[in-house]
Amino acid sequence: MTINFEALRRRFPVLERKVYLNSGSYCALADTVRDAFNSYMDDRLAVGANWDVWITKNEAVRAGMAQVLRATPDEIAVTASASAGINALASALEFTGPRNRVIVSDFEFPTSAQIWHAQERRGARVVHVPRAPDGYIPLENFARLIDDRTQLVAVTHVCFRNGARLDIPGIVRLAHAQGARVLLDSYQAVGALTVDAPVLDVDFVVGGMLKYLLGTAGIGFLYVRAGLIPDLVPSNSGWFAQQDIAAMDITANRPSASARRFEAGTPPVANSYAADAGLKIILETGTDEIEARIRALTRRCMEGLESIGWSSVTPAQDVRRGPMVAVPSCDAAGLFARLMEQDIVTSYRDNNIRATCHFYNSEEDIDRFVAAMAGHRERFRAVC
């Protein structure tokens, strides 16, 4: 399938004014996503409490997310955030037996590690997988720590600090060989890379809609492998987690037979409009095509940075790289501000400027970023 990326680019108005390389923080706003917000307001003004439509939108997000992950709708919980999904899962696990270990990597976003450390009061023992001297985390570092005491390996797909992409199939093989399950944090990957949950053989996937899925904040998802659902009963619950939402039963907790049991209260209504619109763009474009486009753009960016003598810290190998190129700086905040003055929107974490690409970026965007970096090299390079 041939994709007209130039035509798709025109659907994101901010790109007329900015070089937008910040999808890893918050995506550019598409025309149809803006229209979806307006549609919600129109419904509110015309009808007020339009519950039938709201539920339909929530279910559309569930179905769309299932398509993106190559899963079934019954395996998807629509949550208020990635944190809500992880917390719901954590509440369904027990840590009183010999399998009380949770393995996390040193590439994790703080939320994930913090939630698992919060389970230490319930008996969990959290073990961190360290980086190697080259800054990456190879499989052998996981192999040394995953054992028959491990209940869960909670691991990011792409590191938010440096853009490194972990060997998820390899980690899954190590975990399953020891009888452990795997939770994949796909926030910095899904929508930019193909995340096929059955092919990756992961047990759980968590993420949200505000980055590469082109939606908005305040809505996320949790994928739970179908065969695991019956034995996992979250203590975090609510009326939308019940088998019969309309029952209004206050006498018991009767969780849904599907992954909806990991939901809670009233769904994120307005955000469902936006998330549905964003998912439609991703599905119409195709995740394989998006991944190929982003791979080419990040390669161009890294080669351009090499040419000006300011290398990124992101792995060069395609299989170890996601949609982010992270560039070290002695003053990342100052460099971020200078780039903003030039209408180049990036972000920074630690001492790295993060240029995060999506399919709507162009080769010209990349070249403008590299040219701007060349102009700032003497003032903001990695060593001042």
User: What one-letter code names the amino acid at 69?
Assistant: L
Residue 2 has pLDDT above 90, yes or no: no
The pLDDT of 36-45, averaged and rounded, is 95
Residue 333 has pLDDT above 60, yes or no: yes
Mind listing the pLDDT tens digit for each residue in 223-261? 999 999 999 999 999 999 999 999 999 999 999 999 999
Residue 380 has pLDDT above 70, yes or no: yes
Residue 290 has pLDDT above 90, yes or no: yes
Domains of the chain, each with CATH number or no CATH: 5-30+286-379 (3.90.1150.10), 33-283 (3.40.640.10)
Residue 384 has pLDDT above 80, yes or no: no
Q: How far is CA 266 from CA 149, 176, 254, 307, in A?
A: 37, 35, 17, 52
* Structure confidence at residue 77 (pLDDT): 98
Residue 1: pLDDT band (50, 70, 90) is low
Mind listing the pLDDT tens digit for each residue in 336-345? 999 999 999 9
* Structure confidence at residue 368 (pLDDT): 98
The pLDDT of 97-122, averaged and rounded, is 97
The alpha helices in the chain, defined as continuous H runs, are 5-9, 31-46, 51-69, 82-91, 110-118, 139-143, 168-177, 197-200, 269-285, 287-307, 332-341, 363-380
